Structure 1
Amino acid sequence: MDTRDKILEVTAELVMRDGYNAFSYKDISKKIGIKTSSIHYHFPTKSDLILSLIQDACVKQNEIISAVEASTPLRKLDVFMDFYLSLARQGKICLVVALLSDINSMDNRVKDELKSFYELLINWLQSILEDGLKREQMVFATTPLVKATEIMSAVAMIPILSRIGTNQSFEQIVESIKNSIMIN
């Protein structure tokens, strides 16, 4: 892994754990063992760094989408929801949610890229639901976009709620969501 990728990896960890405004280049440099000037070489500004982080996340998400393209709607839904359960287990929150909490302090380039990343996620979830309807494996009373937004809102909260140490079984919540739309 080259220096640029290490910087992005550590940045993702810091953002998903602490948020956008809670870390500095100095924090990254300490974790990697490089000078802050090395970070500035790759990413002159924090906006450049976050922009690259979001773009990198979009590439990875597209790889996940491609990898499960031929799968059933239920399998795709499992992949989508398992991601949020995994974040909760790691004490992290979704990159989109982590960055949205500080969106007012970001420049327009970052805001636009973040919106594109969110649209990638919600459009994928919507397509999963549309496929489930088409195959008569799912049923719900709203449009696929509304249901996708509802599901995304619920599962994106799981990692956040896990931080306060609730005794809720998040796996049961995910199963409940799936059971509410699946035709048995």
Structure 2
Amino acid sequence: MSTRETIIEQADYLIRDKGYNAFSYYDLSKAIGIKNASIHYHFPSKSDLGIAVVQKHLQGLAELRQEKKDLSPLEQLEAFFSIYTKAQSNQKICLVGALATDFHTIEENVQTHLKVLADQVLNWVTEILVLGQQQGVFHFSIEPRTKAMLIISNMLAIVQLIRLTQIEDFERVKAAIIFELTNPQ
């Protein structure tokens, strides 16, 4: 892994562990074992680094969507859940949830990239739901976009709430979403 990639990876970790505003280049330099000047060489400003982290997640999302596009709607929904499963297993929250908390205090260019990431997630889940409804796999009576927002907000919240409750609640919420979608109302 290059120095640039290592910096992005560590920044991603710190954002999802502490929050965007709670880490500094000094924290990064200590964690990675390089000088602040090396970080500034790759990322002159913190917003440059924040954008790089968001772009890493955008690329990962695009790759996941492409990899799973030919699967059934239920398997695609499970692929969406895998984003949160991975975050939960690493005892982290998702990037959207972490940056949304700091939204009003992060730079406008980071906000813009974050909105693109959130839109991409929303579009994907909406597409999964529409496909599932068309194939008779999913049953729900509200607009697909609204249902997608409910599912996404449940997943965003549960990775944070299990810090306070039980880890089993994560699987219970996923199972409840699937049960609700797959059982006619």
Query: Which TM-score bucket, shorter chain as reference?
Result: over 0.9
Residue 109 of structure 2 is matched in structure 1 by: 109
Letter in 2 for 1:180: E
The root-mean-square deviation of aligned C-alpha atoms, in Å, is 1.3
TM-score of the superposition, structure 1-length normalised? 0.96
Please say if residues 85 and 158 of structure 1, whose CA atoms lie closer than 8 Å, have aligned partners that are also in contact.
no
Deviation larger for 174-183 or 6-15: 174-183
Deviation larger for 137-146 or 101-110: 101-110
Letter in 2 for 1:65: R
Residue 40 of structure 1 is matched in structure 2 by: 40
In 1, Cα distance between the equivalents of 2:167 and 2:132?
A: 32
Q: How much has 1:169 moved relative to structure 2?
A: 2.5
- CA deviation string 1:80-120 (max 9, x = no partner): 11321331232100101101111111121111110000000
Residue 118 of structure 1 is matched in structure 2 by: 118
Residue 133 of structure 1 is matched in structure 2 by: 133
Please give the secondary structure, in 2, of the residue aligned with 1:169.
Answer: helix
In 2, Cα distance between the equivalents of 1:57 and 1:82?
A: 14
Residue 31 of structure 2 is matched in structure 1 by: 31
TM-score of the superposition, structure 2-length normalised? 0.95
Residue 56 of structure 1 is matched in structure 2 by: 56
Letter in 2 for 1:90: N
What percent identity do the matched residue pairs reach?
36
Please say if residues 136 and 183 of structure 1, whose CA atoms lie closer than 8 Å, have aligned partners that are also in contact.
no
Greater relative contact order (Cα < 8 A, sep 6+): 1
In 2, Cα distance between the equivalents of 1:82 and 1:45?
A: 32
Please say if residues 159 and 170 of structure 2, whose CA atoms lie closer than 8 Å, have aligned partners that are also in contact.
no
Question: Are residues 167 and 109 of structure 1, via their aligned partners in 2, closer, same or farther at CA, if it must alter by over 3 Å?
Answer: closer
Please give the secondary structure, in 2, of the residue aligned with 1:91.
Answer: coil
Q: How does 1:148-159 map to 2 (within 5 A)?
A: 148-159=148-159
In 2, Cα distance between the equivalents of 1:133 and 1:167?
A: 30
Deviation larger for 47-56 or 85-94: 85-94
Letter in 2 for 1:47: S
In 2, Cα distance between the equivalents of 1:2 and 1:134?
A: 45
Q: Which runs of 5+ in 1 are unaligned?
A: none
Residue 78 of structure 1 is matched in structure 2 by: 78
In 1, Cα distance between the equivalents of 2:152 and 2:168?
A: 18
Q: Would you identify which runs of 4 or more consecutive aligned residues in structure 1 move more than 4 Å?
A: none
In 2, Cα distance between the equivalents of 1:28 and 1:61?
A: 25
Equivalent residues, number: 184
